[in-house]
Amino acid sequence: MELSNTAALVTGGASGLGAATVELLAASGALVVALDLPPAVEGRTWSDAVRYVGGDVTEPADVAAALDVLGDGDPALRVVVNCAGIAPARKILSSRGPHELDLFRRAVEVNLVGTFNVLRLGAERMARAEPGRDGQRGVIVNTASVAAFEGQIGQAAYAASKAGVVGLALPAARDLAPHGIRVNTIAPGIVDTPMLASLGPEVAASLSASVPFPRRLARPEEFARLVLAVVEHDYLNGETIRMDGALRMGPS
């Protein structure tokens, strides 16, 4: 699928993986709406290629408002990329007692329910567009994590929510096939994002050393390039792609 004269919605678009994806999609010719929490987009100016919108992916009205920025005309919505997420760390049992149920619920709400909310509303908008080659109308790319497969100690909520995102890929692809919409998932390993930087350089160095090759953190722009490859590869559908340098996470 060609990106010129198309529109895209990217959640978590103000930082990290989302920001890199917004930049690359815009540079590739798409009009991009970057949806993120209001404090994250405050003060951001719109350009001809990127429009920042404040909102919560778990709120249907907020997602609908972001989609309404595009309208129903040209360019049509062809790409949705779900990057918004949170990564709480808590053991099921610790000195603080049992894992807080509200924290677990919030991780699932943002990472899984939020992803599904954007997917369903984005698909509805995509389905209105005129089909292109092979009847294709668009592609949705969700973000999981290697934690979906090898969740570490303290990652019960995060790993469970991301495993749900992995499990969503195939049935969503099958559901949306009659509408000409593809669905794929990327499962990144350890990426050099602001969230990781907040843990300090020693933690980042230790994590880098655990990656077989290349022995470094992934870069957000590498995630963005993989998104672009998925968008442009019309036969890739219902898949989850690991981007992790052959990393397999240990228990801790």
Whole-number Å distance between alpha carbons of 55 and 69: 13
Three-state SS at 85 = coil
Q: Of 158, 176, 190, 192, which residue is the catalytic one?
A: 158
Enclosing H/E stretch for 229: helix 220-232
Whole-number Å distance between alpha carbons of 172 and 141: 11
DSSP 8-state assignment for residue 75: S
Q: Is 235 a known active-site residue?
A: no
Report CA 160 to chain centroid distance, whole Å.
Answer: 16
Write the CA distances from 180 to 1, 79, 108, 162, integer angstroms: 12, 12, 28, 25
> In this structure, what are the phi and psi dihedrals at residue 237, rounded to the nearest 5 degrees?
-155, 140
Q: Which residues are catalytic?
A: 158
